[in-house]
């Protein structure tokens, strides 16, 4: 009698804080049910079991920042039928991409007395710079509802329903008053991809862009609006240089590229 | 008989990437190393030039399991630099937030990472097939902790509501009352879990630890207190670097720490419990007595009980804080930067977390220093590993290896914090054989 194929899930970690893979364990109501429909074949943070590949679904957390990891991601790709990056590190290089373009030797010397013991690259780069990525989940951290949607969609063989609109759409949907118009607070919501549920404005704080750039963001216009609200160039540069510092649209906005006013 | 080498690809159920090697010659454990090769992310470097207001959000990203700890150490260090102190309901809300993180982080470790070791399961999913009720109870407890962090912080991982001086938005009394109603039933769950945990088979092992933790004197410590040690230290956070030294080992991307003139030490739940157990809440005090721990605990395998006692404390404390809560007039107090140095040590779930920042006149960070709990514990973990391996050296390789893994997991090491993936390598030699002979 033919047995139904239970898909194999693998979770991989590169340079990261572990927060995005923790999101899976944070699904307290769904985790055991999930383990009943998908075979957790490789997830070192949660289990000693390590089953051999190939894996039907690989979730990759973290960025590539060492020579060892640059090789390891190739092996992960070869063993993975469908590879999804989870979070800002894997998708854009993470906060550690702030080293890119800086003096890495000097960076190392601040932390380590013996930099020669340390395996590190001068850059922290997203997974898609190294291998083909089938889907990307945004966020620093990812949203666990989006993670469950991704896995459910995968199990049903459909494309995940993940919005690519801006955070503004989520503020409108939840009825949050705009912090830019009501409080004159410079906000990254208009150029940041939705997915978090627009938490920050709901907490009286402007969006700080942890889900990274939306599709075709108008950063030039937003920067002008920020200046009108009193932000200086340092404020603007810093705002685009955080957890998605390596995302091209934010990197260009921080450097003033494609910016008519600079 | 050839040299016996056991290779395990990783020690699982820890947060982060590391490896471990053990060398046994003629039945004597000669070397035990915890190797950490988590890729360095250079936070202390990339913080330079950032605004003092950015430190809580940036340092949160050091750890997805205990971001609140980084946010708390960062805000308190910045406030120390500015010469201000956050008091009243804002101070209480910070304690409440920290209660949430202790509960979710401890519950993750107790039920999903540590408990399977005692019963011989690879993971909590396998354990749930025979012990479904306890795993479900554990997940419910974890969810309660996350509910606190989520309400006060905005979300469970990398909360968005914490800032130097206070919060962006403070909860209403009604929001907290609704939260209290979800927490109350969990008290009984924790008591039941504690009864169950006491029946686990605990290896007979004790060690003479030099414990280090905060000591406040009036409350079980989260954000304030003096740093005390078994070896007699009693200092404020600004003297930390006079008494603790960090040094680099070739086998770790996490710096090791020692107390000057004393050596290896231990931070975390056992250390906090050692100095502060008289200040536990009523149910937690009773639970410690029932678990026969009222006189202290120096068996690291029993740290699972201490974590459960701290969960019970944190739940009771959360309910007390909610009950006493009066909505503050403003969600934050103003903080004016100046040329200054700020220090802070707070109690992360895994122990003392030290931050120091040097700021310029506009509050930009000139220098940052961060010492996480797991890096401080590395040397003690290695000492324990060597002793436990020696005690159980007669066990077959596979069992010895598991016992060693369990020894490391006793400390809930957060390797992502400290600089993941633990690989265990046991090398057994006889003196007549070449070191790498097969």
Contacts of A221 (CB under 8 A, 6+ apart): none
CB contact under 8 A, A18 and B64: yes
Give backbone dihedrals phi and psi of A185, rounded to 5 degrees, phi first. Answer: -95, 125
Report, in angstroms and rounded to the nearest whole number, the Rg of chain A calculated over CA atoms: 20
CA atoms within 13 A on the CB side of A70: 11
d(CA B263, CA B415): 21
> What CA dihedral angle connects A61, A62, A66 and A67, to 10 degrees?
30
Domain containing residue B149: CATH number: 1.10.645.10
CA distances to A25, A183, B228 from A82, rounded to whole Å, are: 21, 44, 51
Is B90 contained in some domain? yes
Is B37 contained in some domain? no
pLDDT string in tens for chain B (438-residue length):
335 454 445 556 677 777 778 888 888 988 888 888 778 888 999 999 999 999 999 999 999 999 999 999 999 999 999 999 999 999 999 999 999 999 999 999 999 999 999 999 999 999 999 999 999 999 999 999 999 999 999 999 999 999 999 999 999 999 999 999 999 999 999 999 999 999 999 999 999 999 999 999 999 999 999 999 999 999 999 999 999 998 888 877 788 899 999 999 999 999 999 999 999 999 999 999 999 999 999 999 999 999 999 999 999 999 999 999 999 999 999 999 999 999 999 999 999 999 999 999 999 999 999 999 988 998 999 999 999 999 999 999 888 888 988 898 999 987 665 543 334 456 666 654 433 332
d(CA B115, CA A233): 52
Q: Token pair of A122, please?
A: 């001068």
Domains of chain A in sequence order: 8-156 (3.40.50.700), 167-255 (no CATH)
Tally of structural domains, chain B: 1
Is B122 contained in some domain? yes
Is B214 contained in some domain? no
Minimal Cβ distance to A96: which of B42, B50, B154: B42
Nearest CA in chain B to A65: B39
Q: What is the DSSP letter of B300?
A: G
CB contact under 8 A, A120 and B12: no
Pairing of strands A8-13, A55-61: parallel
Minimal Cβ distance to B40: which of A48, A111, A203: A111
Residue B366: which domain range?
47-208+251-374
Is B342 contained in some domain? yes
Q: Token pair of A187, please?
A: 């906000």
Is B154 contained in some domain? yes
- Long-range interactions of B280-284: CB distance < 8 A, separation 24+: B280/B220, B280/B309, B280/B313, B281/B220, B281/B312, B281/B313, B281/B316, B281/B317, B281/B320, B282/B316, B283/B187, B283/B191, B283/B312, B283/B316, B284/B309, B284/B310, B284/B312, B284/B313, B284/B316
Asked if A136 and A84 touch (Cβ cutoff 8 Å), the reply is yes
Measured between beta carbons, the chain A residues lying within 8 angstroms of B154 are: 199-200, 202-203
Nearest CA in chain A to B140: A28
Give per-residue burial for B246-279: e unless 16+ CB within 10 Å, then b. Answer: bebbebbbbbbbbbeebebbbbbbbbbbbbbbeb
Nearest CA in chain B to A69: B39
DSSP assignment string, A23-62: HHHT-TTTHHHHHHHSEEEE-TTTBS-B--S-EEEEEEES
Measured between beta carbons, the chain A residues lying within 8 angstroms of B358 are: none
Tell me, what's the pLDDT at B218?
A: 96
What is the ipTM score, two decimals? 0.95
Measured between beta carbons, the chain A residues lying within 8 angstroms of B126 are: 47, 49
Gap from B294 CA to chain A (nearest CA, Å): 32
Cα dihedral B319, B320, B323, B329 sign: negative
Is B379 contained in some domain? no
């Amino acid at each position: 009698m033919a047995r139904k194929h239970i898909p194999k899930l693998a979770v991989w970690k590169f340079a990261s804080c572990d927060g995005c893979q923790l999101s899976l364990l944070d699904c307290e109501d769904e985790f055991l049910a999930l383990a009943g429909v998908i075979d957790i074949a490789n997830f070192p943070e949660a289990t000693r079991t390590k089953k051999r590949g190939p894996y039907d679904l690989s979730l990759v957390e973290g960025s590539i920042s060492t020579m060892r990891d640059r090789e390891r991601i190739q092996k992960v790709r070869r063993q993975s039928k469908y590879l999804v990056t989870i979070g800002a590190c894997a998708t854009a290089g993470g906060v550690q991409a702030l080293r890119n373009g800086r003096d890495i030797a000097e960076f190392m010397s601040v932390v380590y007395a013996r930099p020669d013991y340390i395996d590190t690259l001068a850059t922290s780069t997203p997974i898609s710079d190294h291998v083909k990525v089938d889907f990307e989940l945004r966020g620093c951290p990812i949203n666990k509802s989006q993670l469950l949607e991704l896995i459910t969609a995968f199990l049903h063989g459909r494309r995940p329903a993940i919005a690519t609109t801006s955070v503004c759409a989520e503020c409108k949907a939840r009825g949050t008053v705009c912090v830019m118009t009501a409080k004159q607070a410079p906000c990254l919501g208009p150029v940041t991809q939705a997915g978090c549920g627009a938490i920050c404005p709901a907490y009286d704080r402007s969006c700080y862009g942890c889900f990274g750039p939306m599709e075709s963001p108008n950063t030039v216009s937003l920067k002008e609006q920020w200046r009108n609200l009193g932000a200086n160039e340092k404020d603007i540069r810093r705002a685009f240089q955080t957890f998605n510092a390596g995302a091209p649209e934010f990197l260009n906005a921080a450097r003033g590229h494609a910016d008519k006013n600079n | 008989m050839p040299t016996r080498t056991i290779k395990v690809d990783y020690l699982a159920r820890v947060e982060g990437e590391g490896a471990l090697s053990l060398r046994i010659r003629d039945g004597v454990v000669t070397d035990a190393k915890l190797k950490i090769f988590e890729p360095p992310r250079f936070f202390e470097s990339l913080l330079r030039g950032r605004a003092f207001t950015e430190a809580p959000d940036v340092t949160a990203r050091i750890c997805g399991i205990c971001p609140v700890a980084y946010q708390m150490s960062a805000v308190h260090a910045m406030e120390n630099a500015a010469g201000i102190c956050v008091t009243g309901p804002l101070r209480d809300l910070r304690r409440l937030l920290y209660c949430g993180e202790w509960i979710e982080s401890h519950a993750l470790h107790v039920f999903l990472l540590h408990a399977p070791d005692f019963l011989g399961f690879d993971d909590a999913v396998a354990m749930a097939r025979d012990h479904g009720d306890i795993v479900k109870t554990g997940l419910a407890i974890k969810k309660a902790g996350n509910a606190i962090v989520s309400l006060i912080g905005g979300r469970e991982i990398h909360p968005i509501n914490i800032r130097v001086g206070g919060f962006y938005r403070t909860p209403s009394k009604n929001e907290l009352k609704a939260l209290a109603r979800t927490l109350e039933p969990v008290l009984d769950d924790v008591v039941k879990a504690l009864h169950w945990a006491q029946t686990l088979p605990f290896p007979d092992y004790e060690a003479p630890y030099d414990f280090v933790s905060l000591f406040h004197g009036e409350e079980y410590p989260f954000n304030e207190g003096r740093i005390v040690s078994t070896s007699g230290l009693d200092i404020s956070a600004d003297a930390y670097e006079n008494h603790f030294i960090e040094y680099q080992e070739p086998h770790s991307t996490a710096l090791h720490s020692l107390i000057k003139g004393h050596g290896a030490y231990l931070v975390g739940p056992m250390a906090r419990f050692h100095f502060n157990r008289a200040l536990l809440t009523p149910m937690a005090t009773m639970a410690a007595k029932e678990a026969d721990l009222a006189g202290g605990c120096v068996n690291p395998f029993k740290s699972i009980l201490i974590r459960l006692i701290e969960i019970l404390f944190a739940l009771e404390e959360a309910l007390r804080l909610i009950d006493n809560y009066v909505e503050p007039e403003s969600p934050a107090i103003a903080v004016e930067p100046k040329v200054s140095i700020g220090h802070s040590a707070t109690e992360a779930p895994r122990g003392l977390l030290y931050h120091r920042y040097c700021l310029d006149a506009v509050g930009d960070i000139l220098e940052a220093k961060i010492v996480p709990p797991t890096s401080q514990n590395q040397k003690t973990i290695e000492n324990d590993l060597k002793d436990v391996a020696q005690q159980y050296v007669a066990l077959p390789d596979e069992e010895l290896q598991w016992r060693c893994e369990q020894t490391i997991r006793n400390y809930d090491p957060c390797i992502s914090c400290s600089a993941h993936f633990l690989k265990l390598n046991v090398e057994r030699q006889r003196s007549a054989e070449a070191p790498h002979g097969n």
